Amino acid sequence: MRQHWISTEQEQRMDVLGELTSATKHIWIGLHGYGQLVEFFQRPFRDLETEDRAFVFPQAPHKFYINGVSGRVGASWMTKDERLKDIENQKKYLTTVLNWAHSKAPTAHIHVLAFSQGVATVMRFLGHSPVAISTLLAWAGSWPLDASTVNLKALSKINFQGWFGDNDEFIGRQKQTEIQAYYKNQFELDLDVSIYKGGHKLNQVILISEIARLEQIIR
């Protein structure tokens, strides 16, 4: 048997909060976690859009039933099957998303807020973006241990803020400490990290504060 890969054109869902115009100063690209859909992921961000700020939420391309063969549907950025091909496809997808956002608001700063699986997804994309990414707000996600030299160079130049929960059922305190130490010892990157009280979910109060703070840094 010989394996073949073909290129196809597909349409993917992308939810937008706010208006992207020449007046937009900040665009936040929101990447959801494993098993989520943008329809629900974007809810904590509603009412946070302003004349200066808009949000863009691309949905991960792989949808599936969460339990069995019916009921609730979720989406995933990748699995272990053909993972390297999925990573390449992620880059193409996110490139399209950022090009679209930039075309609508060409002078806006691009920020990324990633949750859970979305964190590793965007960290593997850093350095491949067609437009500059000013900020990465990495929430409750495991940082990829296979980050490339290109990824790390880009990561060292952006404004990074990580957040972990003190009771995260998927990324416990030991795992959090290990990945921070790995990036510091192996990659010489001592990244800023804060801890919130709670589990594997967004904290809207902190989220609102961080978005405003991180925008102020680059004004």
Going by pLDDT thresholds of 50, 70 and 90, the confidence category of residue 56 is very high
CATH number for domain 14-217, candidates 1.10.3720.10, 1.20.120.530, 3.40.50.1820, 3.50.50.60: 3.40.50.1820
Whole-number pLDDT of residue 46: 93
End-to-end Cα, the chain, rounded Å: 56
Whole-number pLDDT of residue 219: 62
Whole-number pLDDT of residue 71: 93
Alpha-carbon 98 to chain mean position: 12
CB-based burial, 41-72: b 16+ in 10 Å, e otherwise: bbebbeebbeeebbbbbbbbbeeeeeeeeeee
Domain locations along the chain: 14-217
109-to-135, 147, 208 alpha-carbon distances in Å: 9, 24, 17
| The token pair that represents 175 in the structure block | 């795992």
CA–CA–CA angle 211, 157, 27 (5° rounding): 35
Mean pLDDT of the chain, nearest integer: 95
pTM, 2 dp? 0.95
Whole-number pLDDT of residue 3: 87
